[in-house]
Amino acid sequence: CIRDSTRDVARVCLLLSNAVDKRPDDLALWETLRVAARQAGQWALVAQACERLALFVDGTLEADLLEEAGAVRLDCLQQHQQAEDAFRGALEADPTRQVAFRRLHDLLAAREDAAGLEELVSARLAIGGPKDRPELLYERARLLRGFSDRPGALEVLDELFATEPEHSGALALAAEVHVSLEQWEQAVDCLRRLSQSGIPDEQRRVAHLGAADFLESRLDAKGEALAELRAVEALGLADPATWLRIGALEEGFDHTGAAIDAYRRALEADPIEATAVERLATLMEGEDRDLVLRDYERAIWTKIDEGALDATLLEGLRRAAHGRGHLERASAVAAVEAA
């Protein structure tokens, strides 16, 4: 029965196709053909009927028909160019159409047509106030950055920040653009704002570290750089490299106790961190200094026992022995190094 029904619908489609050939302006016939062809799975006829009907209507109904034609041509017939034309027609009839916009957007993105995407997104923004306006602004800024229009990207981002000042993706993008323009203060401001936005702690860490880099190396604002590194500490995400940077900055401010603490923390995270040992040996005296060097030696021997012998570890042993005044042992290690 199902097979018979399918054959009946197919015969109806054939009869209707012949009828519309003779009466091409009969809208009732085209609509009947559209419905019958959909039931029969004759998708080319569905798309043809939708496109023909769209010629005689306008506004929302025209957009509905062209969206349907586009979806059929794309999903059922894999006719990408014809689908694109249909979706563009739907947007011309009704620029606010969401389905046509998204399907056309996906087509352009799939073929990496950045210029087409920028034109599409700009046109969408021009109609004013879509619900996804912030994300469209963000996308347009990324596209402009891709075209090396960095001032244009920043202008779009400023518009986005007017409504969503903590948009994390936009803040990261703005920081990147400012860095490319060597606008260090603006880059630091964006990174600081990013670190206060609703992002995971690991990303906050990256933002703080980036701000610290520019503050220290580009703006000579070492106190502010130290504050950013201490913020990483507060997150509980300071690694040995961060502790070394904290220690060096604290030394620069003659905060010996804070520097020693930072270098000790570096050693807690990595017991064979050579720079931390070297700085502690310089800053400390007497028994405290000897204890640091002794623990360093023990940590190195543990690594060697695990089969990790290399030139770096041998150099560490030699320096530690020399620092403790064990000159014979230092000479023996030096001889092994030279062998």
Per-residue pLDDT, 36: 87
Asked if 224 contacts 244 with a C-beta cutoff of 8 angstroms, the reply is no
Does position 297 have pLDDT exceeding 90, yes or no? no
Structure tokens belonging to residue 139: 């996308």
SS3 240: helix
Confidence of residue 313 (pLDDT cuts 50, 70, 90): confident
Per-residue pLDDT, 114: 93
Match 């931390």 to its residue by tokens: 276
Asked if 66 contacts 51 with a C-beta cutoff of 8 angstroms, the reply is yes
Q: Which of 141-145, 182-186, 300-304, 327-331 has the lowest mean pLDDT?
A: 327-331
Answer whether 0.85 is exceeded by the pTM: no
Query: Distance between CA atoms of 140 and 126, rounded to whole angstroms?
Result: 12
Apex 11 CA angle, 9 and 17, nearest 5: 100
Asked if 60 contacts 25 with a C-beta cutoff of 8 angstroms, the reply is no
Confidence of residue 108 (pLDDT cuts 50, 70, 90): very high
Structure tokens belonging to residue 338: 């030279």
Query: Distance between CA atoms of 122 and 333, rounded to whole angstroms?
Result: 69
Query: Distance between CA atoms of 89 and 139, rounded to whole angstroms?
Result: 23
Residue with the bigger pLDDT between 28 and 128: it is 28
Structure tokens belonging to residue 320: 């530690």
Residue 202: Cβ within 10 Å count: 9
CA dist list (Å): 140 to 41, 114, 119, 120: 39, 10, 9, 10
Structure tokens belonging to residue 179: 């860095």
The alpha carbon dihedral of 284, 287, 293, 298 has a sign of: negative
Instruction: State what percent of residues in the chain have pLDDT above 90.
Output: 68
Structure tokens belonging to residue 60: 């929302």
What average pLDDT does the chain have? 89
**Kind and range of the H or E run holding 279:** helix 274-283
Apex 205 CA angle, 193 and 267, nearest 5: 150
Closest CA to 104 of 85, 77, 78, 76: 85
Per-residue pLDDT, 3: 44
Largest CA distance in the chain: 109
Helix count and strand count (H, E) for the chain: 19, 0
Closest CA to 243 of 261, 262, 260, 223: 262
Asked if 67 contacts 90 with a C-beta cutoff of 8 angstroms, the reply is yes
Confidence of residue 1 (pLDDT cuts 50, 70, 90): very low
Asked if 173 contacts 187 with a C-beta cutoff of 8 angstroms, the reply is no
Per-residue pLDDT, 6: 56
Query: Distance between CA atoms of 230 and 246, rounded to whole angstroms?
Result: 8
Per-residue pLDDT, 5: 52
Asked if 78 contacts 97 with a C-beta cutoff of 8 angstroms, the reply is no
Confidence of residue 329 (pLDDT cuts 50, 70, 90): low
Q: Which of 4-13, 43-52, 105-114, 268-277 has the lowest mean pLDDT?
A: 4-13
User: How confident is the model over 51-105, as pLDDT tens digits?
Assistant: 999 999 999 999 999 999 999 999 999 999 999 999 999 999 999 999 999 999 9
